Structure 1
Amino acid sequence: MTGSVWLLSGGMMEKSISADVGQLLAGEGSAPLAHTITLRYGLEDKPSPTAAILFGAQHVLIMFSAMVASPLVIGQLLGLPAELRAALITGVMLGCGVGTLISALGVGWVGARLPLLLGAYTVYIGPVVQIAKTESLGAAAGALLIGGVVLLAISPIIGKIRGLFPPIVVGSLLIITGLTLIKIAMNVAFGVNTSYFGQPITVICLLASIVLITVIAALGSQLVRSLSILIALVAIYIVGLLIGLGNFANVAAAPWFRVPSFLPYGIAWPGVGGLTTIIIYQVVAAIYTMSITIALCVMIQVEPTERRIRGAVAGDGLGSMIAVVFGGVPLISYDQNVGAISLTGVASRYVVAISGAMLVCMAFLPKIGAVVGMIPPFMLGGTLVFMFGMIAVVGIKIVSQALEEQRDVLILAASVGLSMVVNLAPAQVFEVFPAALRILAADGIVVGILVAVLLNLMLPPGKRAVAG
């Protein structure tokens, strides 16, 4: 294994990712995949308690800004009072924490028992706000709760269609995901739609984060390499406080302890239209979770079994239901985690379980969450850019071993190309779609997945790829 991916891992305990999973995905007689990353801690490894806590905190810091973004935006768009905005955030944090514990450790047939973290899915912002405005916030909660039940119900079906995702589709998905998320990370890094947009400090933080992570990952010891994201985040955090960017008012206002409220908005029937929209979104979310689960399995060299995929989708459903009944929004297995694992080489599900426990504690201790979130999100943007770039790198590595036939080249070109068209197109382009489908059609990742899967089913095998 050569190149930067090797440098970002390293160590005596490393476990190389070999061809076994590639063989399982590709089918009998297909060429195996080469190594994608090198792990320091595998799925069932248990780091020392101190290291595990640090690794767990690293995951929490990575996902925190994205996790609270959805409830903050929904609260702002609906003009909710402070107590209901707090309920939104608390519900999401509690659901993320419990859902992550279920995903990592498993409860019966629910949970993938993989290092998957759950986070709020921003695509639900539109329909939640629409239902809340036309009906009520209680009706939105009713639709989302039924949506969670739907995820649980369809999870066995989703687990049975994993064969639709051979290596070329998985690799294309990771490239699409990485490139799509880099655009989002860029907006965060440059402070788009905030008072910091256009200020030199945003560019300085972006470049400093990337340089810092690269130096740490390339030159640090084995443990330091695995904590490269945490070290960079803490360094940027301290700098932010020193130059006066910390929001101490929110910290002072946050209570030390709060018990999450059960159904803080009540619950009501959402109407057929609102419920149908949420169910469509949940089906798409299930397919996306399956895609991320398969990609993660490829990366950490475990078999993407029907049980694991079914458990991941069911875990999303149960986690979403927990979040909703305590005032939050639906959750999904985060693709950010794939980038974090590819960068740090830490794939232990027990580390992720610690992250889940931390999130549960933060749901009851709002003061801690306020401290974590006291610096502007743009200061974390450089870390996100680097991490999402790593997702694309893993996808490129998988694809480079899967381009055996001309059809594979076509699948890659069409899926990545169309997803980028969607990502770069003006918002007005998608106004021709019905409201229920507009957000899905405007999602580059969803479009890329559908194109890759459909072309994989439609294009006949046979022609070898053109060399050079």
Structure 2
Amino acid sequence: MDRIEEMQKINIGEDDREKDDSADNKGVIYGVEVSPPPHLTVFFALQQAILCLGSTLSIPFILTNLLCAKDDTDARAQLLCISMFMCGIATLLQTTVGVRLGIIQGGSHIFIGPIVAMMSLSRWSCPIVETVSLNMTNTSGPDITTPYSLPEEKAWIIRLREIQGNLMLASLVQFLLGCSGLVGFFLQFIGPLTIAPTISLIGLSLTGVAADFNKVHWGIAILTLGLIAIFSLYLGSIKIPFPTYSKKRNCHVARFQMFKLLPVILSVILSWILCHILTITDNVPNDSTHVNYYTRTDARLSVLNSMPWFYFPTPFQFGTPTVSAAGFVGMLGATISSIIESTGDYFAAARISSANPPPAHALNRGIAIEGFSSIISGMVGAGHATTSYSGNIGAIGITRVASRRVFQVAGLILLLGGIIGKFGAALTLIPDPIIGGTLTVVFGMVAAVGISTLQFIDLTSTRNLTILAISLILGLMVPEWMASNKNAIKTGSDDLDQVLGVLLGTAMFVGGLIGFILDNTVPGSDEERGILKWRANMYEEGEQDAKTHVQYEIPFITSVLRKVKCCSYVPVSPTFDKVINCPCSKDSKEEYTVGDENRANYNVKLENLNEKL
């Protein structure tokens, strides 16, 4: 308690930061179990909530295009509110009963690829204006062609139901994998050469989506992108003075790296102001058929009037979800990729928070909660699953605030933001090119994160370069060919044709599968494949010397579970202490656990490797 009280009194002013930096450059001011003062908690929570808005709110903009509801402002506002609502729900669940680290949960871009492939099937083509010949007089008279359009107002709901059903089914698999403790078993076959093409192709395959927004006004899109780069890269180290208060120093001035913390929000605001100036001066055509029309800030103003002040997402509000074999298999592939990504995020969050690496039960529970949250997301019609956000984890290293309480309050803020309907409606007013510029950076960062995984492998190895080359080129080539030849696959079964169409049309699946097969079948040592360094990095010791994992225990019920002996066999129980047959290479017959012995074995091997190098 003395340590906690001492930490709570630490001020976040510049002087205190410098003092703390000299003591421990990698430490955190507020650890996982430490709660900052209430006023600082709200500030830190709001900051984390704002950081995730760019990624979370970009998904509804993408979905409305894919659902043939690009011009349906009500649909976009609804999806925006639902996405924020689910972001809050998932964050609260994850930080309270899941892995219990400071992690923000939000919409996953990994699932956009399968949705794009699913919606590209001929049965989900957007309604188009057609003409029919109506003989109004007699058979010998001239044909009178009358245009008509299919009912678009309900078309997007039918498509959303298909996404809902397949998402719920795939998320159920994720939930069961987490509860069964099989995550560790499957991870033994996954290495950097599987992860790199899988994650990279997520971003690379979605460049067309960003281009669709950018083409509305390339100038504004490039301006937004440029501002994000300037704020985060060039001005990131500049500290802006802000007035603040603490019991120790009363009212004083503290300095914050505002440009580094809020580059996306600042860029959106400045670009939005410019678009508003162009709108009121009529420098942007007020013609809905013009390509630049959605650069105007009043293009969707009517949605503010039509959207209620409060909007409560309810299960199955869009009707009964539907399921297809093709959609389920595509979503399942994205789910597996999400599990891999989230597992890495858990270890990263623990390291950056100066906490002990998460034990087996915390990993299992975290994956199970993500699956459970994604099931709820499918039920309420968000159109996407939830996953952990690496950007918010990285922000901990900047703010040095890893408090669980901060992230719980952030989840509450996001939850309330989703319930207030007018807030979601206001976000639909963001001009399309601003969204496009932001998406360009987001998708680029996703690709870069995948590429960064290659740091663990031997990049001078012909084996590794060949596997990477084949995975990336086929991951881009096959889906592009499928998009141009939608009816090329004819197996004699319509269901099988659709399954193969979705899978081969998903770049992430094609590249990841090829990388997985080649990496596990082509001869190569653990050192060459990067397995040793990658897992040593995952199981690296936390900065603190505590021997317990108290931060991963479920509040209130852990003491009860300790009294029930059979709970030690339940993979999601805090008392779970059984050995997991964890990652090992095909060149080694050793078994590893998720405990201290595992990390020690890897660290010894890594030291031997470094000596050889």
**With structure 2 as the length reference, what TM-score do the two structures score?**
0.56
Q: 1:314 to 1:127 in 2, by over 3 A?
A: farther
Larger Rg: 2
- Give, as a single letter, the amino acid of the residue that structure 2 aligns with 1:239: L
- Show the 5 A alignment for 1:20-35: none
Deviation at 1:153, TM superposition (A): 0.8
Q: Give the helix-richer structure, 1 or 2.
A: 1
Deviation at 1:255, TM superposition (A): 3.2
Match of 1:24 in 2: none
Deviation at 1:308, TM superposition (A): 2.2
CA contact (8 A) 2:172 2:371 kept: yes
Match of 1:247 among 271, 290, 297: 297
CA–CA separation in structure 2 for the residues paired with 1:269 and 1:232: 40
1:218 aligns with 2:276: no
What's the % identity of the aligned pairs? 17
- State the SS of the aligned residue for 1:266: coil
Match of 2:90 in 1: 99
Q: 1:171 to 1:258 in 2, by over 3 A?
A: same
Match of 1:151 in 2: 174
- State the SS of the aligned residue for 2:387: strand
1:306 aligns with 2:306: no
Q: 1:126 to 1:231 in 2, by over 3 A?
A: closer
Deviations 1:328-359 (A, max 9, x none): 12222233334444454443333222221122
Deviation at 1:100, TM superposition (A): 0.9
- Give, as a single letter, the amino acid of the residue that structure 2 aligns with 1:157: G
More RCO (CA 8 Å, sep 6+): 1
- Give, as a single letter, the amino acid of the residue that structure 1 aligns with 2:297: N
Query: Which region of structure 1 is more displaced relative to structure 2, 307-316 or 212-221?
Result: 212-221
Match of 1:32 in 2: none
1:333 aligns with 2:385: no
Deviation at 1:45, TM superposition (A): 3.6
Match of 2:225 in 1: 206
Deviation at 1:149, TM superposition (A): 2.1
- State the SS of the aligned residue for 1:112: coil
1:435 aligns with 2:501: yes
- Show the 5 A alignment for 1:78-157: 78-80=67-69, 83-106=74-97, 111-121=98-108, 122-126=112-116, 129=119, 133=124, 137-155=160-178, 156-157=180-181
Structure 2, gaps ≥5 residues long? 1-15, 126-157, 242-253, 277-295, 490-499, 521-528, 532-583, 589-604
1:356 aligns with 2:411: yes
CA contact (8 A) 1:159 1:306 kept: no
CA contact (8 A) 2:171 2:372 kept: yes
Match of 1:72 in 2: 61
Deviation at 1:428, TM superposition (A): 2.4
Q: 1:300 to 1:84 in 2, by over 3 A?
A: same
Query: Which region of structure 1 is more displaced relative to structure 2, 271-280 or 407-416?
Result: 407-416
- Show the 5 A alignment for 1:213-292: 213-214=232-233, 216-220=235-239, 224-225=255-256, 227-245=258-276, 247-248=297-298, 249-250=300-301, 252-253=304-305, 254-292=307-345
CA contact (8 A) 1:145 1:320 kept: yes
CA contact (8 A) 1:119 1:332 kept: yes
Q: 1:367 to 1:422 in 2, by over 3 A?
A: farther
Deviations 1:120-155 (A, max 9, x none): 232342366479849864454333223232221111
CA–CA separation in structure 1 for the residues paired with 2:183 and 2:232: 37
CA contact (8 A) 2:480 2:505 kept: no
Deviation at 1:102, TM superposition (A): 0.8
Match of 2:38 among 44, 49, 59: 49
CA contact (8 A) 1:176 1:416 kept: no
CA–CA separation in structure 1 for the residues paired with 2:396 and 2:328: 36
- Give, as a single letter, the amino acid of the residue that structure 1 aligns with 2:368: A
Deviation at 1:101, TM superposition (A): 0.9
CA contact (8 A) 1:105 1:113 kept: yes
Q: How many matched pairs?
A: 428
Deviations 1:200-219 (A, max 9, x none): 44444433333333455424
- Give, as a single letter, the amino acid of the residue that structure 2 aligns with 1:209: I
- Give, as a single letter, the amino acid of the residue that structure 1 aligns with 2:267: I
Deviations 1:233-281 (A, max 9, x none): 4433442243234735447344322222331222255244444443344
Q: 1:392 to 1:150 in 2, by over 3 A?
A: closer
Q: 1:370 to 1:415 in 2, by over 3 A?
A: farther
- State the SS of the aligned residue for 1:116: coil
Match of 2:135 in 1: none
Match of 1:377 in 2: 435
- Give, as a single letter, the amino acid of the residue that structure 2 aligns with 1:142: G
CA–CA separation in structure 1 for the residues paired with 2:50 and 2:479: 31
Q: 1:172 to 1:422 in 2, by over 3 A?
A: same
Q: 1:184 to 1:125 in 2, by over 3 A?
A: closer
Deviations 1:70-105 (A, max 9, x none): 333333333356555444333322222101111122
CA–CA separation in structure 2 for the residues paired with 1:360 and 1:429: 41
Match of 2:370 among 316, 336, 348: 316
CA contact (8 A) 1:159 1:307 kept: no
Deviations 1:437-468 (A, max 9, x none): 22554459846984797454556479958988
CA contact (8 A) 1:158 1:286 kept: no
Query: Which region of structure 1 is more displaced relative to structure 2, 113-122 or 201-210?
Result: 201-210
CA–CA separation in structure 2 for the residues paired with 1:235 and 1:268: 39
- State the SS of the aligned residue for 2:229: helix
CA–CA separation in structure 2 for the residues paired with 1:241 and 1:213: 19
- Give, as a single letter, the amino acid of the residue that structure 2 aligns with 1:328: A
CA–CA separation in structure 1 for the residues paired with 2:208 and 2:73: 27
CA contact (8 A) 2:238 2:259 kept: no
User: How much is the aligned-residue C-alpha RMSD, in angstroms?
Assistant: 4.7
**With structure 1 as the length reference, what TM-score do the two structures score?**
0.71
Match of 2:132 in 1: none
Q: 1:77 to 1:409 in 2, by over 3 A?
A: same
Deviation at 1:318, TM superposition (A): 1.5
